[in-house]
Chains A and B, each alone.
Chain A
Amino acid sequence: LAKTTQPISMDSYEGQEVNITCSHNNIATNDYITWYQQFPSQGPRFIIQGYKTKVTNEVASLFIPADRKSSTLSLPRVSLSDTAVYYCLVGDSSNSGGYQKVTFGTGTKLQVIP
């Protein structure tokens, strides 16, 4: 099983770029890396997903080095509304029958400061 490790918490001032790194040393060849955002009392929301190199969308960028043992979620110019918990997930396809069992870790609590 591919496990992930990410910082428990981070603080950032408004307007700064925030980079959250996730380690996944045992990532498998077919695994994708997915990041979610969760606000209090809401379910997690998909942000971005990638396999290698760089992926960018209107919300964030995801940087994945060649060895894929880590990934970095980059949030440009954060605002107070970006205060949330961010989860890094690596696809788990270890079960037979094509089960999609996805394991969430504890995430990184990002606090944006005015």
Chain B
Amino acid sequence: SQTIHQWPATLVQPVGSPLSLECTVEGTSNPNLYWYRQAAGRGLQLLFYSVGIGQISSEVPQNLSASRPQDRQFILSSKKLLLSDSGFYLCAWTASSTVHYEQYFGPGTRLTVT
């Protein structure tokens, strides 16, 4: 069966510090991968999505970036965090063969920028 992992689960970082969040998927090949952010009490904001290694599409221009160095690994990064980067970061995947948009989400990372 497929499993999606995210780490760390929680993170407290000062403004201006770098960020690296990792997401890995097990049990599937060539998944579509997504990064979302959810601010407190808000809906999900799609940040990045990827249909393959090295293929990243950005939805929101900001100080975040994403990379996909391996088929089942998706990394969210920042060189300098802003207070507004605080939120709940979720990674998700879909099977590349489906057109039915059934996404599977990871447990999330709670980021607090102080």
Contact = CB atoms under 8 A, between A and B. Distances in A.
Contacts of B96: 100
A103 B105 contact: no
A44 B102 contact: no
A49 B102 contact: yes
Contacts of B46: 101-104
A30 B98 CA distance: 12
Interface in A67-112: 87, 89, 91-93, 95, 97-107
Nearest to B107: A43
Query: Which label, helix, strand, loop or mixed, suits the secondary structure of the A interface?
Result: loop
A92 B46 CA distance: 13
B105 A34 contact: no
B105 A89 contact: no
Interface residues of B, number: 28
B29 interface: no
A29 interface: no
B51 A44 contact: no
Contacts of B110: 41
Given A104-B43, A104-B44, A105-B43, A32 B99 contact: yes
A93 B49 CA distance: 13
Interface of A: 30, 32, 34, 36, 41-46, 49, 87, 89, 91-93, 95, 97-107
